Amino acid sequence: MPTIEVSMKTLEKLSGKKVKEEDLEFVKGEMEELKGSNAKIEMGDTNRPDLWCVEGIARVLRGISGKSKGLPKLDFRTSGKEIIVDSKLHGIRPFISGFIAKNVDVDEELLLDIIQLQDKLSENYGKKRKKISIGIYRYDKIKFPVHYKAVNPEKVRFIPLKSEKPSTLKEILNEHPKGKEYGYIILNHKLYPILLDSAEEVLSFPPIINSNFIGKVETGLQTLFVEVTGDDQKAVLIAANIFAYSLRDRGAKIESVLSAYQWKTPLGKDIPCPYIFNQNLSFRKENIRNTIGIDLSGADVKNLLMKMQYDVSISKNTVNIVVPPYRNDVMHYMDVIEDIAIAYGYGNFKELDITSFTAGKLRHDTFLSDKIRRVMAGLGFQEIMSAILSSKAALCDKMDADFSALEIENVMSENYSCIRNWIIPNLMSCLTKNMHVEFPQKIFELGECVVRDRKSIDGTRTIAKIAGAVSGNGVGYEDISSYTDSLISSLGIKYGIKPSNNPSFIKGRAGEILIEGKVVGIVGEIHPKILNRWSLEKPVSAFELDISPLLKASTSQA
């Protein structure tokens, strides 16, 4: 979760109220540290990048306290300035948006807040600058129109930020710290993106580094030019809107800049920034009662939603809202109802009286899971618990497995971009991190996985799996198969094994586990090439089983 640093004095000035620690609940924030007026706040919502700054938090608190109502209007005038986008960027880093912020008093505190927001948006929301990155410049040094071009990386030279000598784009990737850190984003392209003004002065080499001239932002400046580049047009515009609203809240006058594309983007060829999406959403009022269990009048619904910065109208039993243009998290009416609950206050929900009596007991699958854990512990295995979210690299690439896991559309980190469909990769990761621990190592995990299922409503099915792994000198198929046999036999289940050609395992040293003629799992020795990818030095043998067939079989064979 992102942690931001804010001045409580600035937060109270912008929100117009004395801010208490419990007020942070309205932005899913938690006070991590408070020293004098400086606070560290951990933000619990990775879907709301507009809240990763003091201005965003203050904006919500103004709404909750009634000091502002409805969607905050971003008043801006058209500057007449343009960014001309080279068609050659289409397959490299195609999208850019920008705006001008005037009457900005850039003091030390504001400069630090701007840099923090730039960093949080680029690193978290921007997937470490791959999805979006942000550049901030000295407006007074720029001669418009600005040109966003694709160029030969060995023919363009400029002095990068905090450097003294000019370097080519290729040299920057090889030598500059930022080039080494983010160069992978564009390294495989023949042409690299560059941002130039009409006098051929370099603004920046996105998404790597600003120039040391136009791109050197210091205290005392009054006018800024802000741009966002990336490979996702909506994300680029959302990030620019967040920045524009934040600077507006600090007193800046915003002027729009037009991005002129040489091809038709999903939003057209000439795209102004800030960009007002005018996203509308409607739902039935009874959905509120069915979801959070409270009856609200139309006036109450409207008041609560206006506190959360929505524009609202209610027609009979239909709630119609307009989503703020700096939010990308409202995809369903349930997201809006969550905001109603936040504005209502979770502490104001009343407990319900008991209306019926039932005798509780554990479900059969819970008994089975507990028994499996006891058996595995008795066999000398240690249980681990890992995240259900993983990556394509772990689930597929490192394991030589076909990729069938579900991917998350708007990810915050590549390490958590998929929902796992099997557990053995998690065990491999754990073994990699514990090579310093005494061998042999025996670990297992019992947890949920998500697989594709065309028969279900949403095309997915959640299943529970048990997986175990043994690592150490001389560990082989015989070891893991004996543990697997002990586990399944202890459940009173008959099973069989047939040879498997799973590429994660050594051919001839792996088998598919069958129960009632159906494949329910796999057991075998992990292939040496897989071990190398995980940097494991000792042999590993592993098994994995779907719990559902075990549950069915244990019931039918009981």
Residues of the chain with CATH 3.30.930.10: 364-556
C-alpha distance from residue 183 to each of 87, 173, 205, 402, 454 (Å): 22, 5, 11, 29, 40
CATH of 76-273, one of 3.30.360.10, 1.10.3720.10, 3.50.40.10, 3.90.190.20: 3.50.40.10
For residues 38-62, average pLDDT: 92
* 352 pLDDT higher than 90: no
Contact of 3 with 43, CB cutoff 8 Å: yes
* 551 pLDDT higher than 80: no
Share of the chain above pLDDT 70, in %: 99
Q: Tell me: the pLDDT tens digits for 175-215?
A: 999 999 999 999 999 999 999 999 999 999 999 999 999 99
* 252 pLDDT higher than 70: yes
Q: What is the CATH number of domain 280-346?
A: 3.30.56.10
Q: What pLDDT is stored for residue 554 in this prediction? A: 61
Share of the chain above pLDDT 90, in %: 77
C-alpha torsion sign, points 70, 124, 398, 536: negative
CATH of 364-556, one of 3.30.930.10, 3.30.300.30, 3.20.20.150, 3.30.70.2740: 3.30.930.10
Q: Tell me: the pLDDT tens digits for 281-318?
A: 999 999 999 999 889 999 999 999 999 999 999 988 89
- Provide the total of helices (H) and of strands (E) in the chain, helices listed first: 15, 28
User: What letters, b where the CB count within 10 A reaches 16 and e where it falls short, cover 288-307?
Assistant: beeeeeeebebeebbebbbb
Q: Using omega within 30 degrees of 0 as the cis cutoff, is the peptide bond preceding 324 cis?
A: no
* H or E segment and range at residue 239: helix 233-249
Interior CA angle at 72 toward 137 and 330, to 5°? Answer: 90
Within 8 A by CB and 6+ apart from 159, the residues are: 165, 166, 167, 211, 212, 213
For residues 425-440, average pLDDT: 92
* 343 pLDDT higher than 70: yes
For residues 463-473, average pLDDT: 94
Q: What is the CATH number of domain 3-64?
A: 3.30.56.10
- Residue 556's pLDDT band, with cuts at 50, 70 and 90, is low
Q: What pLDDT is stored for residue 558 in this prediction? A: 46
Q: Tell me: the pLDDT tens digits for 373-399?
A: 999 999 999 999 999 999 999 999 999
C-alpha distance from residue 291 to each of 139, 209, 280, 333, 354 (Å): 49, 47, 21, 11, 19
Q: Tell me: the pLDDT tens digits for 488-547?
A: 999 888 899 999 999 999 999 999 999 888 999 999 999 999 999 999 999 999 999 998
Residues of the chain with CATH 3.30.56.10: 3-64, 280-346
Residues of the chain with CATH 3.50.40.10: 76-273
Q: Looking at residue 39, what DSSP letter applies? A: E
